[in-house]
Each structure stands twice: as structure tokens, then as C-alpha cells.
Structure 1
Amino acid sequence: MTQIPIMGDGLPQPLLEMLGAEFEVLPWDDAPDSPALARAEAVIAYGHPPVDGSLMDRAPQLKVISNHGVGVDHIDVAAALQRGIPVGNTPGCLDAATADMTMALMLATARNVVVGDKYARSPEFLHYDPAILIGQEVTGSKLGIIGMGRIGKQVAKRATGFDMQITYHNRHRDSEAESEYKAEYRSLDDLLAESDFVVLNCPLTPETTGLISGPQFEIMKSSAILINMARGPVVDPAALFTALSTGQIAAAGIDVTDPEPLPRGHELLTLENLIITPHLGSASNRTRERMMRMTVENLHAGLQGKPLPYSVDK
């Protein structure tokens, strides 16, 4: 049987099993004279490899780009569509898992879970002291959500269970969020000034790159906690270090960084009031299985010249 050559790097075993013997998976090679690119009829973008117009031009057989994930900021979608190459992603299936992780970071940061774990394992913990590691109460606090899309709404849904007062900032007002979760619209500055917790669930776009930097941290409460579940470049890393190390804000929990990963020895890695996780937003068993299945569905459709079931069309 002749196998269809596709290019994908680091594909996990379950995804390889879903692909089956029909495909020859070529190692990711974006060199100018790459034999893999010259042969590849499809690309699976796994782990955010950059896919730009130059790469597409070196892949004359390319029929489809199937992205394992929702965010496509690493893919030049406009360049692909100009070349007649459809791009697919995995919308909807990871909203709940990412919202769960948002709440996990919020709770862990507010209640000193990571610092507490280290202390509980250390030689210093010899008796219970009710005066140490007093955290911030999540229940009843004011939550500001930046990006009230599918994931933002899932965060709002969970926040109602903690009786949080929900405000949001978006490009457009969202009547569903306002009626369903009693979320109140705010300008960005007002949201930052009012919120006990600021959660980033927005996509990475030219408008959101560097959205949270020095001036924004100056507006926030000194007791505020920032949670970034969007993309690393939404937050200026140097400004984040200054805000955390000088007490402009109390703490932060981030699942993404800029760059990603941070260089070992980076100044942010020295801070105890910062929790960093390695991009785990969608990393739950059921969600990752759904993502892989959607990735394969898009792949099959594109290779057959059919409309992608989960298409990125802009």
C-alpha cells in the first residue's frame, strides 16, 4: 500500500495510532531544501511549529494544514488561504479543560498551594502555625475576564459557583455572558482597577500582543492576582517581573510564557509569588483525545478535497 506522506513532529503514540498505516509520518524539517517538505501532502502542526508562507512554497504537494489545538497564531492562515490550502483546528473541545486549568491556577495562586507544598515537605515544618501563608479568598471576590469567548464563558460559569462578581472586557459586549452569568462589561482600565483576579482568556492578535504591560500593572490593585491562560506575548515578561518583585500586584499564575519555555535562569523563575505551568490548558485525557480525533478528521477531509469539518477561514 502506498502511504500518504505527511509532516509532523513529536506526534504522540495515540495520534500515530489514529493515523494508522495509511500515512507515512515524516520528521519536521523546514530547511530550504527539505526533502520532507517537497514530498509532504499535509502538515500536522503539533506543538506550535511556525508554518509561514515560505514553508508552504517549499511544499508544492501540500493540500491541508491540520492544527492540533485552537490557537493558530503560529500559522499564517492568510498565506495558506491565498495558496488554496485549507487550515483546520480543534475549536470547542478544549474549552472546559482550559477553564478548569484557569480555576486551578487561580485557586493555587490565591491559597499558596505551591509554596505551601514546598514548606510542608521542608525540614522547617515542625508544628502547625495558623499565622502563616494567609492567602486570598476566592469566594465572593471580583473577577475580571479579558476575552469573553468560549473559554471565558466557561470560566464565568465556574466562577458563579464561587459567588464571584464577574466583569469582562471584550471587543464587543456579550449579551449571553451578561444574562447567563450576570457579567458586567467594563473598559480595560476599569476592569483592571476593580478586579481582585484578572484572567486572560483572549487570543493572541496584533491588538492583544503586549496588552498587559507596565501601565496596566500600575492600574491594578496591589492585592490583585493575574492569571494568563491566553498566550505568553499577551503579557510583557519584563513588566510582569517588575510588578511581582516590587509589589505592584500580589501574585500571578501563568500557563504560557514569552518566550516558551523561558530560558533557564530567567528572572521570572526566581519569584515565589509566581506559579508557572508548562502550557497545560488542554492537557486532560478526554480533551486531548478529542483534539487528536478532530485533527485527523481535518486531515482526511483536506486530503480528499472536501471542506474541513473544523475550518479556520480567516
Structure 2
Amino acid sequence: MNDYVLKTINLTKQYKQQLALSKVNLSIKKGSIYGFIGQNGAGKSTLIRLVSGLAFPTTGTVELFGKSNDTELIHARKRIGTIIEGPALYPQMTAAENLEVHRLLKGIPGKGCIEKTLTLVGLQDTGKKKAKYFSLGMKQRLGLAIALLGDPEFLILDEPINGLDPMGVVEIRELLKRLNREFGITILISSHILSELHLLATHYGIIHRGELIEQLTAEELNGKCQQFLHIKVDNPNKAATVLETELSTTDFEVMPDGVMKLFAYLDVPGRVSTILTNHGLVIEQFMPMGEDLEGYFMNRIGGINHG
């Protein structure tokens, strides 16, 4: 039994002199929600296009559901649904008419799937309203409905929440969670809204300048995004000595700018501040903090300089 819906082996794509992807080895487990993170031009869309069959690799291999030769990939891609570069909608048509066109294009027998899919994404009551009058959130849900035609096992979504208002973002998030939880659909989602991915993904891949620099689980990320007490005093060296002698801890870092990150005593911050004050230190800043996915990503690609 293959536990992975997608693997890429040394996947490389070059456009003339530009190397868009370089030997990418990515793996997505069945049943996961994989958050794909990278700056514009990092290679996210290129990889998605290669996996979806919209472009072809220069070298390397795409493996879908354990299948990797050209004939097998054609059949394997029938088991995926995609939203790439925005949903392809017919603005003069209703939601049902849009789905009917795509049903015929995909060769899906019977019209029963249309009402079922509209209900699944919450568009069953749109009636004769044309897609051009839909809100952005409704258009995104209609695009998702199109991707869901044919009951795919794997969804590939490129920026599905881009431009949505907060309510629209929540609606799409809850829908994707439901699709994953109730229907077992594996999801690859690329998004610039990292705070939202942090609420959704079970696994992450970070790509930078065409190279996949890290893959990790949500649990591993949470372990790395440690909570800490952010402390700034007038004499960091003395404060470090006080922490070691009075609180018997070395679980802290002194940053180049003198800010201290204390990873212990998070449950009793008052004890820490009292001891520092009693030793004559002037506390300028003292607050609990923690790195989020965006902070971790920026540190990982070198976007933050602590010097």
C-alpha cells in the first residue's frame, strides 16, 4: 500500500538560462494537508504545474499514487483536482451551469454530482445568479466545486484564499478541513497567508530559490516555534549571571542586540522580573513572545538579520 500521494525525485525545471526548480525531493503523505511555502518566484507554481501535467520537467520524476511513467501519470492525474492561477469560471453562467461544462469536459457521467458538489461547498441556493455577480469568496468556492468534480483523492490549490476577506478565509479553511477530515482528501495548498496555513496544515514544505530547503510536520514546527520571555535590561551580561545563579537555568539566549530570550519559567514570569529587579537591573522590556510560522519561515530563508 502506497502511503504517499505525491513524490518528486530530483525534480528539475529550467527555462533557458533560469533554473526554476533544482533537484526537488518532495513527499506528501496520504491524508495530510501540506502547506507549501515560498516567496514569489521561489518555484511553488512551477512545481504545481509539473505535478498537474501543465508543464514537463527538464530532469527528474513526478510520482503520483506510486505511478511515474507517462501513461500511468495520465490516469493518476484523473484522481486529482486543481485550482491553479485562480478558478476558471464562465462569468455569464450560473454555478450549476459552470459545473455542467466542467463535468462534460472531464467526461463524468450523470448530473447527480452537480447538486451534490454545490451542496458540499455551500452554493446550492445560488439558483440563476450568474457567476459574475458572485463575491470573491463564492467564486473561490465555485472553483473548489469544479476541482471536486469526479471525487478527487488529492486537491492541489494555488493561493485559494488570496484576496478573500476574513470571513471568506474562515469559510474556505473550515471547508478544506472538512474535506480532509470527512472525505480523507489529501490537500496541497500554496499560500502567502502563513498565519492561515499555520491553522490548517499538518505538514509543511519550504522552498527557496528553486530548492526545497525543509519539510516538517506541524508538531515539529510547533516544537521549533518555541515560546519565550522577551527580556531587555540595561546590563544583559549581569542578567545572564543572575539567571544562571538565582534561577539555575541556562535555557536562554542573548541576542546580538542584547535582547534575552528565556525559554524557562514561562509559567512564573513574575518570579523572573522580581529577581532581576532585586539585583539592581533596570527592565526596559519584558513580555511573553513566540515565533509563528511567518517568523520561522523568514528566519529559515535568512530574511531576518539579528545582528
**Greater Rg by CA:** 2
The TM-score, its normalising length taken from structure 1, stands at 0.27
